[in-house]
Amino acid sequence: MNIDYIEDFIKVAEFQSINHASSLLNISTPALSKRIKHIENYFGCDLFYRTSRGIFLTDKGKIV
C-alpha cells in the first residue's frame, strides 16, 4: 500500500468528508474516493460508512 494513502485515510476520518479532505490534500474527490476504496480492499473490509451527512469510521476503521 502507498504510504500517502495512510495520510488520506487520516484526513478523511478527521474531517468526516471526502470533499473537504480532497481539497486539503490537493487531489480530486474521485481520486481520493478511489484511494479510500483501495485501502478498504487492502484490509478486506469497509473502514467507513457513508451517509448523506458525511463519512464515518466503522468499528474496524477505528482499529486501523
pLDDT the model gives residue 13: 95
Give the total number of structural domains in the chain.
Answer: 1
The answer to whether the beta carbons of residues 36 and 13 sit under 8 Å apart is no
> Rounded distance, CA 36 to CA 8, Å?
8
What confidence tens digit (pLDDT) does each residue in 19-28 have? 999 999 999 9
CATH of the domain at 12: 1.10.10.10
Domain that holds residue 35: 3-63
What confidence tens digit (pLDDT) does each residue in 5-63 have? 899 999 999 999 999 999 999 999 999 999 999 999 999 999 999 988 889 999 999 98
What is the chain's percent helix, strand, coil content, to nearest 5?
65, 10, 25
